[in-house]
Amino acid sequence: MKTYTLNNGATIPAIGLGTFGSDRYQPQEIAEAVCGAIKAGYRLIDCASVYGNEAQIGEQLERAITDGLVARQELTVISKVWNDMHGPGDVLLSCAKTLRDLRLDYLDVFMLHWPFPNHHASGVGVDSRDPHARPFIAEEYLAVWRQMERLVDMDLVKSIAMSNMTIPKLEALLPHCRIRPALAEMELHPAFQQWDLFNYCISKNIRPVGFCPIGSPNRPDRDKTSEDIAATDLPAVKRIAAAHGVHPAAICVKWGAQRGEVVIPFSVHEKNYTANLRAVYSDPLTEAEMAEIAAADAHCRLIKGQVFLWPGAADWHSLWDENPSDAQ
């Protein structure tokens, strides 16, 4: 099992199973995939309270551990604080609920899911907005981060992490973190490579975790636009997949793992999650193939986050500090 050592000395596998059902897959089938993936050799599971399936996953984790399929200490379990739990004391409550649902007594990684306290009900459309939505405010984020740090002090959580960040946000936060994030989860796939953010995190000894590594073909409709470019449709990815005799999805996974991010592809199908595991451990891409995919970057963000926009924001680029008026 290829692993990375994090800035706090903990280790994390190079590949994990995603568990977001994209409003399409049922909690029970995802939980069963978690069990199947552990049997297949996965040791990292990327969960979140907002995915609405931690209770079902917890049943499977408990069974896998009590049946001797895997020891607790061999597993790395990530979970995330949802945006409606940023208030005073809420992070501890969120952690307690996740621990109870996952039937664990500690989390390997607890992550702040988004840098805004803006949320939405499950299954909403692309035009849905939280009327109380607010922009990123570093001081408010740091108050939530202090709660995360206390969970490490209490030994409820081994590592803490951030998600959906930008370089300006990290620049504003990192100097003030008593415990620095061990990981930063971000959208990464051949059509959206985010080299600047990726390299920035590496330079700060924060390991990138790539979400939607295949380009999330079944993502919710609220995250789809007509301009979106599918990673698996990029001519370079298709050509290299044909040369290796695998599905383009496997090339996306291989490419992400090979450039140094933790990849967390989702699948409920044994054939696909075992193919993704195999992709990380066999038949590496050549340097020329890595370069060909790097050159194919379409700079196409899929998870734009429109539903988190606040009143007065220009458009979704504001969530990512990409509008000139967004200077922090």
Ligand X SMILES: NC(=O)c1ccc[n+]([C@@H]2O[C@H](COP(=O)([O-])OP(=O)(O)OC[C@H]3O[C@@H](n4cnc5c(N)ncnc54)[C@H](OP(=O)(O)O)[C@@H]3O)[C@@H](O)[C@H]2O)c1
User: Is residue 253 a contact partner of residue 279, using CB atoms and an 8 Å limit?
Assistant: yes
Backbone φ and ψ of 327, nearest 5°: -50, 130
Question: What single DSSP character describes residue 156?
Answer: S
Residue nearer to ligand X on the CB measure, 78 or 313: 78
DSSP calls for 250-310: HHHHHHHHHHTPEE----S-HHHHHHHHHHHHSSPPPHHHHHHHHHT-----S---GGGPP
Question: Is position 265 an interface residue for ligand X (rule: CB under 6 A)?
Answer: yes
Q: Which of 51, 141, 200, 273 is catalytic?
A: 51
Q: Which of 110, 141, 255, 266 binds ligand X (CB under 6 A)?
A: 266
Residue nearer to ligand X on the CB measure, 113 or 325: 113
Q: Which H or E run contains 144?
A: helix 138-153
Give the sign of the dihedral formed by CA 268, CA 274, CA 275, CA 277: positive
Instruction: State the residue number with the nearest CB to ligand X.
Output: 18
According to CB under 6 A, which residues from 67 to 126 bind ligand X?
113
Q: What is the size of the binding site for ligand X (CB under 6 A)?
A: 31
C-alpha 287: how far from chain center: 26
Question: Is position 135 an interface residue for ligand X (rule: CB under 6 A)?
Answer: no
Kindly write out the interface string for residues 167-206 of this chain, putting x where it contacts ligand X by CB under 6 A and - elsewhere: ------------------x---------------------
Query: Which listed range, 165-173, 194-202, 264-272, 320-328, lies at the site for ligand X (CB under 6 A)?
Result: 264-272
Query: Which listed range, 60-68, 101-109, 126-134, 217-225, lies at the site for ligand X (CB under 6 A)?
Result: 217-225
Task: Please report where in the chains the tokens 């988190």 appear, as a residue.
Answer: 308
Q: Which H or E run contains 23?
A: none
Kindly write out the interface string for residues 45-64 of this chain, putting x where it contacts ligand X by CB under 6 A and - elsewhere: -x------------------
Kindly write out the interface string for residues 221-250 of this chain, putting x where it contacts ligand X by CB under 6 A and - elsewhere: --------------------------x-xx
Please confirm, yes or no, whether 141 is among the known catalytic residues. Answer: no
Q: Which residues lie below 8 Å from residue 287, measured CB to CB, with a gap of 6+? A: none
Question: Is position 213 an interface residue for ligand X (rule: CB under 6 A)?
Answer: yes
DSSP calls for 36-95: HHHHHT--EEE--GGGS-HHHHHHHHHHHHHTTSS-GGG-EEEEEE-TT--STTHHHHHH
Query: Which listed range, 142-150, 152-160, 236-244, 263-271, lies at the site for ligand X (CB under 6 A)?
Result: 263-271
Q: What does the binding site for ligand X look like in residue numbers (CB under 6 A)?
A: 18-20, 22, 46, 113, 163-164, 185, 211-219, 247, 249-250, 264-269, 272, 275-276, 303
